[in-house]
Structure 1
Amino acid sequence: MSEEAKVLVVDDEERIRRLLKLYLSREGYEIEEAADGEEALEKALEQDFDVILLDLMLPYKDGIEVCEQLRERKATPVIMLTAKGEESNRVQGFEVGADDYIVKPFSPREVVLRVKALLRRASATKYLETKPDSQNVLVFPHLTIDKDAHRVLADDVEVNLTPKEYELLYYLAKTPDKVFDREELLKEVWEYEFFGDLRTVDTHVKRLREKLNKVSENSARMIVTVWGVGYKFEVVEG
């Protein structure tokens, strides 16, 4: 997907559009540009883009309006670009459906890395839609997680997990490629907000990998350690 990905770059400053186009074109992406909110929305609705880089402060329609109106029709991944670093702006962007947020001034290389990560995540998420009958069933190559039945199949073989091992796997898998630190996992899976041993997370991840590995090495490889940060779920197709 990445080599043929189509990216819409939206910014009212030509030098920023030119800079981003230069770096993204080097990755093999096809680039379209828009200089204001109305042009951006028109192009985003008429064409199918894999990622939209969307400046917040734009003429005619700002980035929030563009994203909000786009979300009524399409689920195209959006990375918001803005000089405003305040939390309220980030929250507003996420509330209307932005997938990521980069504050100016930024490194073009950082933007490229964020685009790549979002493309991988969007590609992985398509597997979540392969069973339309149930939104609580996550289907990936080598791994199926049925939330309602608390059932996990690795290469069509059922894996016997404890409730916490299961909850940890489901929490990671429902957002492929997103990195979670141990504190967040402890808070969300174990509901420990101000106390709890971080090694609890490591221990459960180790056991979870071991159980999956006995049945399917590919499914075990989907739980990836991000050194110094935490863990993420990465789709393995091979």
Structure 2
Amino acid sequence: MGADDYLYGNVYQEEFSARIEAVLRRSGNDKQIVELNQLVWDKRLLELKYQQKVIPLAPKEFNIIGVLLQKPEKVFTNEELVLAVWGNKDKVDSKTLHSYIRNIRGKMRDAAYPVDLHLITVWGVGYRWHSLQDTTN
């Protein structure tokens, strides 16, 4: 469960991120490509595509979507998302996260993606990706 390593003393951001990535690789939860709801999230190319068109996202926006797409239907608390993307909950407040989510929604709407059906706000808790069945039927 990731308890095979421990941290002591001062830990630097780069070291902490590397350790988290190593644990995710070993657990098999760090997917390189996710295809869901007509989206293709490709970590190798740092691209999110809808209908073969790239949706331009900032790196943090790309990482937020990646966290949500890798575990659809899971409700992520604001704190969990901040830890997963920034690595330190003290560096970022929930207003910053909400701003990123708003930007993601806007960019996906611009690409004609039905983001409001999928990127769900769980009020007072956080966010989840709702993986509906095919919405084109």
TM-score by length of 1: 0.42
Aligned runs of 1:16-27 on 2, under 5 Å? none
* C-alpha separation in 2, matches of 1:210 and 1:160: 11
Aligned runs of 1:58-137 on 2, under 5 Å? 135-137=31-33
1:196 aligns with 2:83: no
Q: What is aligned with 1:214?
A: 110
Q: What is aligned with 1:168?
A: 64
Q: Answer 1 or 2: higher relative contact order, Cα 8 Å, separation at least 6.
A: 2
Q: Is the 8 A contact 1:142 1:216 kept in 2?
A: no
Structure 1 residues 170 and 147, CA, compared in 2 at 3 Å: closer, same or farther? same
* C-alpha separation in 1, matches of 2:58 and 2:75: 23
Supply the AA of the counterpart residue of 1:185. Answer: L
- Report the CA distance between 1:217 and its aligned residue: 3.2
Structure 1 residues 147 and 220, CA, compared in 2 at 3 Å: closer, same or farther? farther
Where structure 1 has 5 or more consecutive residues not aligned to the other structure, the ranges are 1-90, 92-134
Residue aligned with 2:128, SS: strand
1:235 aligns with 2:131: yes
- Report the CA distance between 1:179 and its aligned residue: 0.2
Q: How many residues are treated as equivalent by the alignment?
A: 105
Identity of matched residues, %:
27
* C-alpha separation in 2, matches of 1:154 and 1:221: 15
- Report the CA distance between 1:141 and its aligned residue: 2.6
Q: Is the 8 A contact 2:36 2:69 kept in 1?
A: no
2:35 corresponds to which of 123, 136, 139: 139
Supply the AA of the counterpart residue of 2:100. Answer: H
1:155 aligns with 2:40: no
Residue aligned with 1:224, SS: strand
Q: What is aligned with 1:181?
A: 77
Residue aligned with 2:87, SS: coil
* C-alpha separation in 2, matches of 1:156 and 1:219: 16
- Report the CA distance between 1:214 and its aligned residue: 0.9
Where structure 2 has 5 or more consecutive residues not aligned to the other structure, the ranges are 2-30
Deviation >3 Å, runs of 4+: none
* C-alpha separation in 2, matches of 1:153 and 1:144: 5
Larger radius of gyration: 1
Residue aligned with 1:217, SS: coil
- Report the CA distance between 1:198 and its aligned residue: 1.1
- Report the CA distance between 1:235 and its aligned residue: 1.3
* C-alpha separation in 2, matches of 1:152 and 1:195: 26
